[in-house]
A and B are shown apart, each in its own frame.
Chain A
């Protein structure tokens, strides 16, 4: 193996100056440890598990170095920094710990809802958590924590939980979800289905509109209900902004080859068939646009009617 560095031609004088500058910089501003190190469980915090190697830390746009090709969604929610630390137990099992500090608790909650599948096991951990076959996600305050095992063995899962609890005990902050979550009618809502969204990338992952305009919402929430109906609430911050956005979005959808206007409905809502066997109904509700999605027109419309 070889690691290749480019050849750089410098004058001797420039080299001396550069060396002096680097030496001065190193002395004046020694590389400090990031603030997230305080939340890492130490070698004795979790019996049987010890740190394996040094932590890695990435801040701001450097997230693209760590999550090359996948940092955009974190940036959309509002990312500050991350620390990554591996742990190993005496049996040789490994767990990777990632603590993401987001810009606000709503961002941490949003990324948590984005990353969970809703099919895992919910645990009493932080503001909310989900344990899936080989990984655990939870959030607390403005922090999102992801622990990954590299198999599904009992020893690994015990490690995920033990390290997770040790981190949760150190993290500040509470577990209050953004207010928009409460706008989803509670009856029949599948708890693990709730996703809090801050932009189009997140929205595309729950329902792609393939629209270029009308989707500049401030925040949004998605819930799935007992009959499989989906409700999305897009909040634009004001009635005026919502009205303007809806005009744009409706025009986009009407122009789209993908959406066909739904026939034979009497409600005062707009509804379309999306070419994928789903009906999509829209309803205006103050600063919010309600979107109901179901395989039947009746239930798509009924879903919207619940929040109008």
Chain B
């Protein structure tokens, strides 16, 4: 069992390893100015596992993100077992294998979702077969730690699963899909899976009335959460996805047959939204994320590397 690390030590380790699970980092719109074009890798093909491998290879391989002996947390989406609504087991398997090959000393999937969801989605079987950890947590506030949101507009403090900070880095692994609330879910929305359910509820105004201001507050809260948490890598399942009745389904299935990887969440989400005809500028969280310096919304300014397996 690895010992817990403190925030100070965590910062030291992160800085030393070039890791990016950063707290307290100020991200402003101007911080993205002058950056190199972000790279987004897209593996295309009917073999989901190989598509995931290809996507990461196009970024330079997993060793770029996972250092030797790193303790890695993974965050797949297990929200529902309906087809096209959860991260495919093959994508998880690919990421686990790549992390192992890169020299990770320990790999854990973190979640406050139920074991039944992990079993029903087939993700538990992959975890067992690969011999990695699955750490399920009660939805108890004592298991979450307060985290300041640098530059937070709607959210000044997140409450993040404390166990995340026992890891050196984490890989965000959403499935991109429809969402009744904001028409889209991807890398940014998936981080709500690390935030406490109680804090997530503050993303909704009291006596939620679904008025436009309340929807805007929700979107801003998601963007703010992304200022407090930065995955080392995002690997997005866009193989088979629901494009209606999201995020839970059942809904109409669309099969782009793609896995998308990168570090720029705005660029990845902009690309994924465009897969089923959405304009990224119409997705409030993507637009706000770009405006507030989280990444590049203009796909013409993204180094997009698509390749068949």
Contacts and interface: CB of A to CB of B under 8 A. Distances in A.
A135 interface: yes
A24 interface: no
B7 to A, nearest CB: 19
B83 A134 contact: yes
Contacts of A4: 135-138, 143, 163
Nearest to A211: B212
Interface stretch (B44-52, B63-71, B201-209, B231-239): B201-209
Interface string B189-206: 100100001000100100
Interface stretch (A178-186, A202-210, A283-291): A202-210
Contacts of A199: 209-211
Interface stretch (A32-40, A72-80, A163-171, A294-302): A72-80
A92 interface: no
A212 B181 contact: no
A1 interface: yes
B179 A69 contact: yes
Q: Which of B82, B192, B213, B247 has the most CB of A within 10 A?
A: B82
B298 interface: no
B249 A148 contact: yes
B140 interface: yes
A115 to B, nearest CB: 5
B180 A205 contact: yes
Contacts of A70: 79-80, 179-181, 246-248
B130 interface: no
A150 interface: yes
A187 interface: no
Contact of B248 (A67, A150, A201, A276): A67
B252 interface: yes
Contacts of B210: 72, 75-76, 199-201
A6 interface: yes
Contact of B244 (A6, A72, A117, A133): A117
A2 interface: yes
Nearest to A86: B120
B252 A117 contact: yes
Q: Which of A8, A208, A215 has the most CB of B within 10 A?
A: A208
Contact of A212 (B83, B163, B192, B212): B212
A205 B183 contact: yes
B246 to A, nearest CB: 7
B245 interface: yes
Nearest to B180: A73
A64 interface: yes
A72 B181 contact: yes
Interface residues of B, number: 49
A3 B138 contact: yes
B249 A210 contact: no
B204 A72 contact: yes
Nearest to A146: B250
B307 interface: no
Contacts of B135: 1-2, 4
Interface in A1-47: 1-8
Q: Which of A67, A72, A73, A150 has the most CB of B within 10 A?
A: A72
A216 interface: yes
B282 interface: yes
B201 A64 contact: yes
A72 B180 contact: yes
Contacts of A208: 183, 282
Given A6-B143, A68-B113, A73 B137 contact: no
Contact of B79 (A68, A204, A213, A215): A68
Interface of B: 79-83, 113, 115, 124, 127, 133-138, 140, 142-143, 163, 179-181, 183, 185, 189, 192, 197, 201, 204, 208-213, 215-216, 244-253, 279, 282
Interface of A: 1-8, 64, 67-70, 72-73, 75-76, 96, 114-115, 117, 119, 132-135, 146, 148, 150, 199-201, 204-205, 208, 210-213, 215-216, 276
Given A1-B124, A117-B252, 7 more contacts: A4-B135, A4-B163, A70-B80, A70-B246, A72-B208, A72-B210, A276-B279
8 contacts: A1-B115, A3-B115, A3-B137, A72-B180, A72-B204, A75-B210, A96-B81, A200-B215
